[in-house]
Chains A and B, each alone.
Chain A
Amino acid sequence: MDTALLFDNAVDNAVVLLPEIILAVGVMVLMMVDIGRRGQNGSQLLAGLSVVILLLGVGASVMIWGRAPVEYLDGAVSDGFALSVRLVILIAGVLGVLLSRNKLPAIERQGGAFYSLHLLAVIGMMLMGTATNLIVLFIALEIFSLALYILSGFYRENAHSIEAAMKYFLLGAFASTFFVYGCALLYGAGGSSKYTQIHETLATGGGNPSLVLPGIALLLVGFGFKVSLVPFHMWTPDVYQGAPTPVTAFMSVGTKAAAFAGFFRLMMTALPSYHDQWAMPLAILAVLTMTVGNLTALRQSSVKRMLAYSGIAHAGNILIALVAGTAAASSAAAFYLFAYAFMNIGAFAVTIALDRQFGNENDVEQSRLAGAAERFPVLAAAMAIFMLSLSGIPPLAGFFGKFLVFKAAVEAGWAWLVVIGVLNSAISAYYYLRIVVAMYFQQPEEIGDEKEPLFVPASRPSVFVVVVSVLAVVVIGLQPGLWADLLRGLGQ
């Protein structure tokens, strides 16, 4: 393709990347504005701007919804799956920004840095879902990873936060190295960095097939680290606990959605002919991830660590969809992530609100939840709904996420894996229920605590996040068909 034609094509099709472009411009605007108001404390304006930019991104995604998928410069595609993942990430981004409005000194002081990094992370995550080329994939991964390393250490005075950032960065850098090696080997195997090209070369017997499996293995380490699959999950609880809770909330959903989107597209478009070889190892990883995640979550005393291990277990559930490897499975995964965004961020939002009440320790011990339902009836009810949804009790959103994934897996012949999945769900119910039990059934330890007069003791944006999440979890649960229709898988 000659250069002029390539350029024309790029301009014509730029619309497929419109959300990313809007956000990138937005980041620059944000930094300009920050420079313009140098020295002022408070970051209300910047947060508001970020929300507007993110909503413009949502608008752009909706605008290009339903267009025929177009590939952009051999590197990115905007198909239904990419759009679904984009939507999930943008939602997580908006909710994350809103949650940061909780009078957190570090964010108030350096709002410009915080919100531009936040938006950068969103851009990187969205690109992950669109990438059809190993190089774009890697760049996207690094954009959001670097932003998140800094964000998780944003509480500079807090030793845990710094520890989290350090750990995340060092281990993440290792994982990226594996990832690049994997990309290199796949490039060697398929003779191209383009997914479809790799697939064609390998399917027609060309290339260097002996490099494929080592390449997959190395890539698996990278992806496994990002979505926290066992045994690459060790960083998750420490980082989730140490990072500022709004950041944890955002990255717990965003990273998972982005990395899984990239993982799905790579495996299903570049390496479908090797499905027989990679499905079984992934199935074993899924079993390990679900089981270890759930069993460890049983023993946590901190709410954030519990949610971290629960996140690991959920990664195992989503991995089941990848093992199945069908179009229906990828759309089930998109639905799962969509539901997960609301229930998980909602749970973190309640944690933030309670933390503010209990003395801003950036975490909440489960023992402090005793009797919380008496003091904060609305927050407790919301938390109960999120916990029940996370454990997959119908008719809430989380149930249908699991249902669709399991359905796709049974259809693809992985019934034994689904059996392990549902048994794990039953185990997970125990630790989610424990939160509900503490809030509702136990008496608070210190008696004489006067009843809080507040409806909910949280900032208005957090209240908004909680309310939206509750509504979403319930509405998605009651009308799952609507959303399952909207969210598309690969090749749909």
Chain B
Amino acid sequence: MLSILTFLPVVGAIAVLLAPGDSLKKGLALGATIATFVVSLLLLPGWQEIPDMQFVERYAWMPDLNIYYHLGVDGISLWLVLLTTLLMPIAVAFSNQHIKQNLGGYLALMLLMETAVLGVFLALDLVLFYVFWEFSLIPMAFLIGKWGSQNRIYAAVKFFLYTLAGSALMLVAILALYFNAGTFDLLELQEAGLPPGLQQLAFLAFALAFAIKVPLFPFHTWLPDAHVEAPTAGSVILAGVLLKLGTYGFLRFALPLFPVAVADYASLISFLAIIGILYGALVALAQRDLKSLVAYSSVAHMGFVVLGIFALNEQGISGAVLQMVNHGLSTGALFLMVGMLYERRHTRLLKDYGGLWASVPIFSFFFLVVAMSSAGLPGLNGFIGEFTILLGTYKSSPFFAVLGTAGVILAAWYLLHAFRQVAQGELTNPANFKGRLPDLNWAEIGQLLPIVLLFFAIGLAPNFFLDKINPSVAALEVVKAPVVGDEWLVDSSYQPPLTSGQSSLTTIR
């Protein structure tokens, strides 16, 4: 089942390359992504709310070397898989409308991308994981470099080299783990436990790779370039899914494998996350280009996710998992809407817009909802994620929680600022007048609607989602038996995180 899910897009990619005619290619690509989404939905009926891996598949890949083809999904990866399979058809549908040049290659790369990302989310063997992880770079670099805007080559090369260099040391760390425990299997490594000295080094190597991917301040400089230059669907996938690979890596590999090192570095990484939240928000506030505003907002939002993970308690981590999904949905939708605007007016500068509510009300309404979701308005999904994260953070360090809350306020500020600049005020630019600027058509509404409905679903019934996440999070070693690390930068009110038995606010009731 998981193999079908992972490799269905590859089949689609081959079909797209072989198919004659653009309309058939479009249909095949959309069909393949929708089929993948349907397969991923089949995970839900059989889902058990247990901490273990489900739908596990394990075959020998290189038996001599102890390398296995080992896939599995648990509460941490489930929603990320579904997020990927949901965003893909939307991104493909958008591209089908707007990509003119070399469509077949474009769609095939998108589909390969989907396989790579799903592979990362599902792989339970470190070598298999590394293969998918590295492979995910290629389609994205091509998408940016070939179909991006003016500065695309620079952005593509920077993206590729930055992330490649970051993960080089991870390979050495993987080998070191292997020779310590005699296996590349994540679950076996987890049981084996690693000596603290090795944990420190290996954690640093893994963390570098993940921090660049997230991106965590100060490793974020590739992100604005890549986002701004990427084609719209590329940005949607980059922000919606690819950034999650980094935070997912922290959760899936760093936390279970290196609990001692994680406890030692938790304060430092939380501190970097806080800087990222505040810095990303302030820079976003200063942007004149709508797309770079959204790009910097990603730095801030992903900072929240990292903050939640390194709170090292159930609320923080569960919130972080949910917030990954939220960010994927809301930022994906924001990029999508920026793209829709851009295709109409061929400008992304805020000053070229204003007063759009009068001319394109449907667009403006959707933009408002998406912006509010991103800003964390109660009732929508963003609120649940951020609130749970801040709750967890407060437990481990009130100081960070206070700073994080400031980030929430800043987020509301820059998003409202963006909304005001775009949709409100005087309709002055003649190019934006009613009739000149078409409103959203049905196809575009169709692309946005599933995302917006999910905003409300997660916002109003978070327990449906959290109940599937929680068992796996509660089973994490760092949550079960918190290790108190050094308390660098933590003020006197520091309290060790509560154990899961004591926590009562895991789910929002």
Contacts and interface: CB of A to CB of B under 8 A. Distances in A.
A226 to B, nearest CB: 29
A179 interface: no
B161 A394 contact: no
B62 A481 contact: yes
Contact of B168 (A411, A425, A441, A442): A425
B310 interface: no
Interface stretch (A104-112, A120-128, A299-307, A429-437): A429-437
A423 interface: yes
A225 interface: no
A422 interface: yes
30 contacts: A393-B138, A394-B135, A395-B131, A407-B178, A410-B172, A410-B175, A410-B176, A410-B178, A411-B179, A415-B172, A415-B176, A418-B172, A422-B169, A423-B169, A426-B164, A426-B165, A426-B168, A429-B161, A430-B161, A433-B141, A433-B160, A440-B142, A440-B145, A440-B146, A441-B145, A441-B152, A441-B156, A481-B67, A484-B65, A485-B64
Given A403-B127, A426-B164, A437-B156, 12 more contacts: A393-B164, A406-B175, A415-B176, A419-B172, A422-B168, A422-B169, A429-B161, A440-B146, A441-B145, A481-B63, A481-B65, A481-B67
A410 B61 CA distance: 21
For the complex of A and B, 4 pairs with smallest distance between CB atoms: A481-B62, A394-B131, A422-B168, A426-B165
A388 interface: yes
A399 B62 CA distance: 14
B457 interface: no
Interface string A397-431: 00100011011001100010011001101100110
A406 B156 contact: no
Nearest to B134: A394
A440 B157 CA distance: 12
Interface in B62-99: 62-65, 67
A410 B182 CA distance: 13
A461 interface: no
Assign chain A's interface to a size class.
20 to 34
Contacts of B135: 393-395
A480 interface: yes
Interface in B130-169: 130-131, 134-135, 137-138, 141-142, 145-146, 152-153, 156-157, 160-161, 164-165, 168-169
A398 B465 CA distance: 42
B60 interface: yes
Interface of B: 60-65, 67, 127, 130-131, 134-135, 137-138, 141-142, 145-146, 152-153, 156-157, 160-161, 164-165, 168-169, 171-172, 175-176, 178-179
B131 A399 contact: yes
A437 B153 contact: yes
B61 A481 contact: yes
A407 B184 CA distance: 12
A430 B157 CA distance: 8
Contacts of A437: 145, 153, 156-157
Contacts of A404: 65
A257 to B, nearest CB: 22
Contacts of B61: 481
A437 B142 CA distance: 9
A393 B137 contact: yes
Contacts of A411: 179
A484 B62 contact: yes
B130 to A, nearest CB: 7
A429 B164 contact: yes
B142 A393 contact: no
